[in-house]
Amino acid sequence: MSEPALRVLILGSIAAVFVVFLLNGRRVPTTRPVPISRPDLGPGVHFFASATCRPCLAARAALEAVYGDEFNEISYETDPTRFGALGIKSVPTVMALGPTGKGLMWEGVPQAGDLPRP
């Protein structure tokens, strides 16, 4: 295969992957934690999820790997008004809060290694 043909093949493949992501309406989950202060939630790990959210499965697995079943899961299907009241804009969202309500929040799938240890 000639070099120009190989370049066209590579660029075409990259473009195809990009188009698939656009057409599916998927976004890459944000995994970088941001500092937050939420004394209204209380201490602990709070996991905001939805039954139709595929990335939520990966987030739940990461939480279970670190905390077992010691985290508070809030489902959109059972408590949608709480999502709005707390300003939750996307799922999965994870908040790990200390006794004063200060902690970290992830919008997207956190890596188990990034989660604070109990």
Q: How do the domains of the chain map onto residue ranges?
A: 34-112
CA dist 21 and 27 (Å) reads: 7
Give backbone dihedrals phi and psi of 38, rounded to 5 degrees, phi first: -135, 70
Specify whether the CB–CB gap between 28 and 79 falls below 8 A.
Answer: no
pTM to 2 decimal places: 0.73
CATH code assigned to 34-112:
3.40.30.10
Instruction: Encode pLDDT of 26-67 as tens digits.
Output: 454 446 889 999 999 999 999 999 999 999 999 999 999 999
- Dihedral-angle region of residue 38 (phi above 0 means left; psi in -120 to 50 means alpha; beta otherwise): beta
